[in-house]
Amino acid sequence: MTTQNVVPSPGEGGAGPQGRSGPGPVGDGPDPNRIFGVASGFMLASMLFVASEIDLFRALEPDGATAEEIGEHCGVPARTARVVADVLAVSGLVLTRGDRYVNGQDTAAFLTGPELTGVEQTLRYWGRVSDPRAVHALEAVRTGRGIPWTMDDESTVAYEHAVAATTRAIGSSLAGKYDFGGHSTVLDVGGGMGALLVPVLQSHPHLSGILLDLPEVAPLATEELGRAGLGERCRVVGADVFIDPLPGGADAIVVAHLLHLFAPADCERILGRLRATATEDTRLLLVDWWRDWTVPPIMPSVAAAEFLMIGGGCTYPSAEVSTWLDATGWRLLEKRRLVDDTSLLVAVPA
C-alpha cells in the first residue's frame, strides 16, 4: 500500500474519532481502510504540529499562498512546504485553489491570530511533548506507569495555557453551581494558572484563595491572578502535593483535573494528605471527567491515553474515587454535573 492509499480524504468514509479518518470509500463489510484511516492519523498529526511550529497558517493569510510563498514565509524549502500543505489539504483543514493553499474556516479562526491562541499552545504541547513521549505508549500500557519526561519552560507554558483554555468554562460552571456562600478560604490543589480559582474568586468576593502548584508553575499562576486583579486575595504556593507541607486553613479544597494524572495509590496519597489539613467543616471538591458513562466520549477517552503516559493515570469512575475517600477519612456526599462530561464530587470528613 502506498502512502497515497493510507492518507484520509475529506468527505470519504471512515470511522475514526473525528468521523473523517477513512482513506477511501468504506462499505458496510470488513474494510482495512477503517484501520488505516485511524493508523495514518499519526502522520496527519505530525504535519499539523509542524505546520503550526513553522507558522504555515499565518503564511496563508489573507489570500492563500503557493508552496513557494509558504516556503519563503516559513523559512523552509518550497518542496517540503508543499508536502506539509498537501497533507493538510487532504485532512480538510486547508483548501486548495489552483496552486494556492487557503485556510479553512477552523485554521483561519484559531491559528492565525495576532497572538498564540490556546489551540496553538495545545498543538505546541502535543507536538513537543506528547507526540515524542507516545513512542513509549506500549511500555506505559504494559506497566500502568507514566513515562518520566522533563519539560522545558516553553513546554510548561504551552501545557498550562492548553489546560486553562479547556478548563476555564468549567471554573465558571463550578462558581455558579456550587454554593461557596458558607466558605471563607478556597485552596486549589494543582490549580495550574487559576482557570478554576479565578472565576470562583471573581464570582464570590468574600472568598480568599490559595493556589498550590509545582514551583515551576507558580510564577505563571501569580501572573495570571495579578492580571485578573486577584493578586491581593490569593496566595500562590509553589509545592509538590506528594512531598511538601500543604497549607492549612482552607474550608474548601478544590482538586480539579489532577487525580486523573496519577495511578490509584497516588490518588489515595493525595486525598490522605489533604485530609490531614482538613477540619470537620472542610468540603473537598473533586472536579474531573469521572468515568461514569457507558459510551466512551471522544475527548475524555483520548485524553485518558495521555494521562496514562504522564503519570500512570486515566479517567476514574466515581465509585472507585468513593473507595479512596473512604480509605482516607472522607465520605462522598454528592455528585453534580458541571459541563459536558465533567462533574463535581463533593466530599466531607467522615
Distance CA 182, CA 192 (A): 25
**Longest CA span, the chain:** 69
45 grid coordinates: 498529526
Distance CA 273, CA 209 (A): 19
Q: Which is nearer to ligand SAM, 58 or 336 (CB)?
A: 336
The phi, psi pair for 235, rounded to 5°, reads -95, 140
Q: Does 70 bind ligand SAM (CB under 6 A)?
A: no
Q: Does 210 bind ligand SAM (CB under 6 A)?
A: no
> Which span sits near ligand SAM by CB under 6 A: 128-136, 236-244, 271-279, 294-302?
236-244
Map grid coordinates 466512551 to a residue.
Answer: 296
Q: Does 258 bind ligand SAM (CB under 6 A)?
A: yes
Report the interhelical angle of 118-125 vs 153-177 (nearest 10°): 130
Q: Does 308 bind ligand SAM (CB under 6 A)?
A: no
Which member of 5, 242, 276, 350 binds ligand SAM (CB under 6 A)? 242
Q: Which is nearer to ligand SAM, 175 or 258 (CB)?
A: 258
Distance CA 243, CA 198 (A): 26
121 grid coordinates: 499552545
Which member of 140, 157, 195, 250 binds ligand SAM (CB under 6 A)? 195
Work out how close the CB of 269 gets to ligand SAM at its nearest, in angstroms, rounded to a whole number.
10
Work out how close the CB of 202 gets to ligand SAM at its nearest, in angstroms, rounded to a whole number.
15
Q: Does 191 bind ligand SAM (CB under 6 A)?
A: yes
| Radius of gyration of the chain measured on its C-alpha atoms | 23
Q: Does 259 bind ligand SAM (CB under 6 A)?
A: no
CA-nearest of 182, 212, 190 to 283 is 182
Q: Does 145 bind ligand SAM (CB under 6 A)?
A: no
Q: Which is nearer to ligand SAM, 93 or 220 (CB)?
A: 220
Q: Does 313 bind ligand SAM (CB under 6 A)?
A: no
Which member of 48, 101, 161, 213 binds ligand SAM (CB under 6 A)? 213
DSSP annotation of 146: -
User: What beta strand segments (E) does the chain contain?
Assistant: 94-97, 100-103, 185-189, 208-213, 234-238, 252-256, 283-288, 330-337, 343-349
Distance CA 227, CA 190 (A): 19
Work out how close the CB of 221 gets to ligand SAM at its nearest, in angstroms, rounded to a whole number.
8
Q: Does 88 bind ligand SAM (CB under 6 A)?
A: no
Mask: binding to ligand SAM, 148-167, rule CB under 6 A, as x and -?
Answer: ------------x--xx--x
Residues that bind ligand SAM (CB under 6 A): 160, 163-164, 167, 190-192, 195-196, 213-214, 217, 240-242, 256-258, 261
